Structure formats: C-alpha cells, structure tokens
Amino acid sequence: MTAPLHEPTAKAAPSPVAEAAPGAVDEAAAVGGDTGPVQGRSPARIAWERLKRDRLALTGGAVILALIVIAVLAPVISNLVGQDPDVFHEDRIDPLFGTPKGSLGGISGEHLLGVEPVNGRDIFARILHGARISLLVGFLSALVAVVLGTVLGIVAGFFGGWVDAAISRVMDGLLAFPQLLFIIALVSVMPNDMLGMTGSSVRVFVMILVIGFFGWPYIGRVVRGQTLSMREREYVEAARALGAGRLHILAKELLPNLVAPIVVYTTMMIPTNILTEAALSFLGVGVKPPTASWGQMLSNAIDYYDSDPLYMIVPGVAIFTTVLAFNLFGDGVRDALDPKSSR
Amino acid sequence: MTIPDTSTAVSERPAGASTAPRPFLDVRDLRVHFPTDDGLVKSVDGLSFQLEKGRTLGIVGESGSGKSVTSLGIMGLHTTGQYGRRKARISGEIWLDGTELLSAGPEHVRGLRGRRMAMIFQDPLSALHPYYTIGRQIVEAYRIHHDVDRKTARKRAVEMLDRVGIPQPDKRVDAYPHEFSGGMRQRAMIAMSLVNNPELLIADEPTTALDVTVQAQILDLVLDLQKEFGSAVIVITHDLGVVAELADDILVMYAGRCVERGPAERVFHEPRHPYTWGLLGSMPRLDREQRDRLVPVDGSPPSLINLPSGCAFNPRCPYADVPKDDVTRTIRPEPTEVGDRHWAACHLTREQRERIWTEEIAPRL
C-alpha cells in the first residue's frame, strides 16, 4: 500500500482516499502537490505549445537547424567526404565540350553532386560552403535591420512629433531608393581591401551592412505602428497613473508587445535577404569567385543549362529549400504568436 | 525602478496657509481644452470642487460631459492615453494636500501618481498588461515608489490580493489577467491601485464593464477600503444608481461645467437643476410610485466646440422660457447656493424652482 508515502505531502487528504483504488492515490497527490490546480502559462510558453503542434513549421525549423549545422560544419563535412571546394578536377572534365565526364554532371561516389564544368570543382563541397555565405549574410543583415528598425521605430512611435516626422521621412526615402542599383554601383567603386579584410570578406561585410541598412525601414514601420497603437492602450495609461516613468513604459510595457512582430518580421526577412545575396552574387557584384555562393553558382550554370542541367538545379534547389524552410517557419511563428489565429 | 523621494519636501503646506486650511483636494476653475482641426474642444470649462479625506464624491454626467477628462487632468494624464499626442491646454488650480499640481513639474507629479493619487480604470482587462502576471504588475507598481526587493514586494502583492477578496492569493498572484474573471480582474486592478496607500483614489466608471451582480460587490469593496484607508474617493459614472450607493457628495456635470453640486441626500431628494431632474426622471427605480415610461432628456449633448450661448442646457431644457428676458440664451448661469453646501447653476428663481419641483417633477418620480 502506497498510502503512508503520501501522508506528509497530502496535508488534508482524508484516509478514505488513500485506501481507495491505486488510481485515486495520484489524484490525492495532485491535489496536495505544491503546483496546485491553478498554473499560469506565460505567453511565450503558450506560443511554444502552439508552434509544437504546427508540423509544417516544425519541418521548416528542422531544415533551418540542419542548414545551420551544415554551414557551421561545412569544412568538416567536406573533409569527411574528402573534397575541397577550391580544388580543380580537370581529369573529370570532357576536354572537348568542357562539361563533366559521365552522366548527370559527373555524379559519382567521389563527387556526390558532380563537378563544375570547365574547372571540375566539387559541387557538393561548394554547396556546403555556399550555405555559410547565404546564412551569414541572411542572419547578420537581418540583425542589422532588426536592431536599427526596432530602435528607430520605437523612438519614432513613442516620442512622436518632429522625431517621428524625421525618422518616417528617412524610412520613406529608403523604401523608395533603388537598392539593387545602389549596391551594384557601390561594389564597383569599393576598394578591394578595407579594415584588414580582403576579397570576398569585404564583399560579404559590405553586403551585410547594405542589405541590413536598406531592410530596416520595413521593420521600422511595423515597430513604429505597433508602438503608436500600444502607447494608447489603457494599460500604458494605467502604468502612467501608477507613476511609471518613460523608460519603464518603454522597456516594461511596450517592448514585450513588440517582441512578437519583431520575431515574425525577422524570420520573414532572413529568406528575403538570402535571396538578395543570391541575386547580387548572380549579378556578379556579390561574393567573388573562388569563394562559393549559391547565387554565383547559378550564374555560372546559365551557360551550361542544356549540356549540364544538374549544375543549375543543385544551387537552385538549395536556395529554394532554404527560403521555403524559413518562410514555413516564419508563418508558423506568426500563427503561434498571434492569439487570434486559429488553425 | 526607483524614484527618488522628492515629494515630501514640496508637499508641505505653504507657510501662509495656516488660516482656514485648504481642503485635501481643491479644484478651482479647472479648464481642459483640446485644440482640434475643427476648433477648440472645451471638454472641461470652469469646474470647481473640493473633497476631504474619507469622503466620496460622485461625478455624474452623460458621455462627453467632461467627467473622465477631469480625472485625467487631476492625475496629470490629460496629454496622454486616448487623447494621443494632442496637446491639451489646461488651466486653473488643482491643490492636492497643499501642493498645486498644475504648476508643479511633470516629474514631481509623476512621483505623486500611484503613491498619493491613484486611478481605477473602467475596463480592467485592457488596463492590465496582458503579458505579465497579476502579481508581477502589482510588484512593479509597488516598486516604482518603494525601494524594496522583489520578495518583499511580492509579499505585499499577496497581502493586497487577499485584502481585495481574491481567494488563494498566494496562488492567484502568479496568474495572468486573462485567467481571471471580470470581477476578479477589477479586484486585482483595485489592489494594484491601492498598493501604495494613495490618499486620493479616482475610480473612472469602475463597474461599467462588470456584471450587475459583481458591480455591487466591487462598490462594497471600494467603500470598505475607503473606510479602512481613510482616503478621498472620486467615483465617475453615468449611472446614478452607483453614486446613490457610494457617494457623500454629488457633482452633476453638463458640457464640461458643473450644473449642480451638493450632498448626495439633497441632490437626490431636492434636486435644484432641470438637468438633474431629467437624469432622475430617466433612471429606472424600483421604488417609483407611478410605473409608467421613463422620461428621457430630450435632444443630445451639445457640441463642445460650439456651445449654445447662455446656459449650455437651454436647447434641451423644458423650462428655458420660464426666466424673463431670454436670459437663459444670453447669460451663462453661475453656480449659486441653493441650500446648505448645495449649489446649482440655473436662471430659475428659488420660487420657480421649488414650484416646478413640487408641482411637476416630484409627483412623476
């Protein structure tokens, strides 16, 4: 009999309960347990529980996690398969046409996804290393945009007046700015080395800054709008009525309500930035050759679309999968954070 | 976060105020005007009243009569909240325990908010932050004005929840606002407002969002707490039934002005203003002798941008033609004493008022 074990915890449990069927013992323990019948769930926990039920979002999240692991471990993985992204394999190339020997772009046990035409670099290794560039630019430029957008959006929404007018006009201006043309122009006048960086590092650094800089107005507008509506809420007024100061209201009353839109916009912004990076590299103003990038691979593959279609398909699928995964995950996060959505 | 306690030095009475001490709350000629694209909205236009500690003042009036703006003005919140970035123009004097609030700096007034004067809002669901637990919000409210650690503040929060009648306060303290019922939320709101023992409590329509059965409980609670803490309470409502139960004094507002003010007893039993008659006539009562239709006040509240000249109530007043020389349409009536501590702003003479009340109004109520 387990009854004696429960005597100390179940403070008011009458003995009939303890003597009843074994199932009832659990109930007695639950009633007397220190968690109690009332347990509040925090908004973050509610959102997490909703997200857990969304299979598409979870799949997206899993793919993103896998991509991050791949990007971080790219050198390790390519070493494991015995390939280097920069080594030429001219022996694998048909000298007459410049295309890989064998079917399907030269897929073999050695080169899992075949080799590039002409140079014969291993595509698998280059895809792995391309993931690094894509995610690095995607995440860091989103970070730049989120930090700028959140700070300036909150300031504009909260303080209003001429501050709001100034920031809003800057946002309007940036949104109307031909971003792509600007970057293309910028890259053509950019020095080859700066701040101790050379070659592709400079390009990546500049891309992160520029994409982030042109991206912040999107998130800035959302945050500003949200701040405007939040600061009119009665609980903000109630906080003021209790004597709360500006800083307290900004940090404790407004910011928690901005977390949801910021998270959602960030997850939506990352795939857009990855696409922008791919587009820039495709146009030849992004990452410079020996460094691998998906967009650049696609660009090179154009010339071989009929003779070596796989060379085009592989980076295309990589970009597609990544963007899709982020979008699915972003949708799921948005649904999970929005108490009004029901699925 | 903590705020340096600068208020004690300033809140002492000025040296010359020893003769005839000021009432605890003394509002003089308060005007709150909002400039808009359409013109100047005179939400409150020359309002004066006094309130002592331990007393309850009921402010009654229709929507847009300036009740809420008055309370926001006292709290120094008239430039925020639902009025947005609109710069309100406020003038007059608001004396709280010897300190004039309108000339005091905003930081000083902020130090008083919550600690010496607090507010209960109409809808507790929207006035409580959805993101934090009830306890966390009370803790924050306490720690704004008291330099204590979280543990002490939490103890205080549990104590306050217990005091306002929330069962299992030590467990409910960790619940979120959405997990509370409407009545419990309002109790929690009251606990939050009273956590710093304010001497002035403004309740802006505290029961409007609640079930009728819960309303009475909340009103009882406010009364109990007032007795316990001895604070001054202002209850703002459009519901005469609420003030009948609570208030010692009643102030009837119309178009941003006071039309009648006096002890509750007198305002209910010997009202001296046609607008108050109209309000009483439109109120459902169980003790009514004749159970015929309620009599509404004809017309609608005037535009606060273009107030009718003379008495603002004249277009709706059935007795507007009783005084001679069209005076109701040309001269704005000032509040005159019509009894002991009882004022009314009306051009009707004492005889006319008493005749109309006893012959026409009282028999119908």
Indicate the range of A12-21, A311-320, B140-149 predicted with least confidence: A12-21
Q: CA-CA distance, A285 to A203, in Å (whole number)? A: 8
Mean pLDDT of chain A: 76
Structure tokens belonging to residue B77: 């919140």
- Considering the domain boundaries, does residue B1 fall inside one? no
Q: Are residues B89 and B202 in the same domain?
A: yes
β-pairing, A197-198 with A193-194?
A: antiparallel
- Considering the domain boundaries, does residue B324 fall inside one? yes
Higher-confidence residue of A37 and B137: namely B137
Tracing tokens 């205080």 back to the chain, one arrives at: B156
Q: Are B172 and B166 in contact (CB under 8 A)?
A: yes
Tracing tokens 């028999």 back to the chain, one arrives at: B363
Residues of chain B with C-beta less than 8 angstroms from the C-beta of A234: 81, 121, 123, 126-127
Domain architecture of chain A: domains with CATH: 3-32 (no CATH), 45-337 (1.10.3720.10)
Q: Are residues B259 and B229 in the same domain?
A: no
- Considering the domain boundaries, does residue B15 fall inside one? no
Q: Are residues B202 and B346 in the same domain?
A: no
Print pLDDT tens along chain B (365 aa).
Answer: 444 444 444 444 444 444 567 888 999 999 988 888 888 888 888 889 999 988 899 999 888 888 888 888 888 887 654 444 557 788 888 998 888 888 888 788 888 888 889 988 888 888 888 888 898 899 988 988 888 888 899 999 998 888 888 888 888 888 888 888 888 888 888 888 888 888 899 988 888 777 777 888 888 888 888 888 888 999 998 888 878 878 899 999 998 889 999 998 888 888 888 888 888 888 776 666 655 677 777 778 888 888 888 888 888 888 888 877 778 888 888 888 888 889 888 888 888 888 888 888 777 77
- Considering the domain boundaries, does residue B19 fall inside one? no
Q: Is B141 helix (H, G, I), strand (E, B) or coil?
A: helix
- Considering the domain boundaries, does residue B13 fall inside one? no
Q: CA-CA distance, B219 to B120, in Å (whole number)? A: 12
In A, minimum Cα distance to B142 occurs at A242
Q: Are residues B34 and B91 in the same domain?
A: yes
Structure tokens belonging to residue A83: 């390939």
* A to B CB pairs, distance under 8 Å: 95
Print the domain residue range for B189. 24-247
Q: Are residues B165 and B221 in the same domain?
A: yes
Neighbours of A172 (CB within 10 A): 12
Contact A42 B118 (CB under 8 A): no
Contact A241 B126 (CB under 8 A): no
Q: Are residues B101 and B231 in the same domain?
A: yes
> Helix H segments across chain B?
7-11, 67-75, 106-112, 124-127, 134-145, 150-163, 169-172, 182-194, 212-229, 240-246, 264-269, 274-281, 327-330, 350-356
Of B110, B126, B175, the CB nearest to A233: B126
Q: Are residues B103 and B169 in the same domain?
A: yes
Of A36, A40, A160, the CB nearest to B179: A40
Predicted pLDDT of residue B251: 92
Q: Which of B211, B229, B247 is the last residue of a domain?
A: B247
B192 CB near a chain A CB, below 8 Å? Answer: yes
B239 CB near a chain A CB, below 8 Å? Answer: no
A248 CB near a chain B CB, below 8 Å? Answer: yes
Q: Are residues B243 and B263 in the same domain?
A: no
Contact B77 A256 (CB under 8 A): no
Contact A40 B175 (CB under 8 A): yes
Predicted pLDDT of residue B86: 56
The per-residue b/e assignment along B87-124, b for 16 or more CB within 10 angstroms, e otherwise, is: ebebebebbbbebbbeebeeebbbbbbbbbbbbbbbbb
Q: Which amino acid is at A103?
A: S
Q: Are residues B193 and B330 in the same domain?
A: no
B243: domain CATH number? 3.40.50.300
Q: Which of B224, B247, B270 is the last residue of a domain?
A: B247
Q: Are residues B214 and B325 in the same domain?
A: no
Q: Are residues B241 and B271 in the same domain?
A: no
- Considering the domain boundaries, does residue B78 fall inside one? yes
Scan residues 95-154 of B and list those with Cβ closer than 8 Å to A: 110-115, 118-119, 121, 123, 126-133, 140-141, 144-145
- Considering the domain boundaries, does residue B222 fall inside one? yes
- Considering the domain boundaries, does residue B17 fall inside one? no
Those residues whose C-beta lies under 8 Å from the C-beta of residue B348, and which sit 6 or more positions away, are: B274, B319, B322, B323, B356
Predicted pLDDT of residue A144: 92
Residues of chain A with C-beta less than 8 angstroms from the C-beta of B121: 234, 237-238, 241
Predicted pLDDT of residue B269: 86
Candidates B304, B335, B299, B331; CA nearest to B317 is B299
Residues of chain A with C-beta less than 8 angstroms from the C-beta of B81: 232, 234, 236-237, 240
Of A36, A233, A235, the CB nearest to B171: A36
Q: Are residues B222 and B276 in the same domain?
A: no
* pTM to 2 decimal places: 0.71
Please state the domain count of chain B: 2
A340 CB near a chain B CB, below 8 Å? Answer: no
Length of chain A: 343
State what percent of residues in chain A have pLDDT above 90.
3
Candidates A127, A34, A238; CA nearest to B195 is A238
Q: Which of B190, B220, B247 is the last residue of a domain?
A: B247
Beta pairing partners, B26: B50, B95
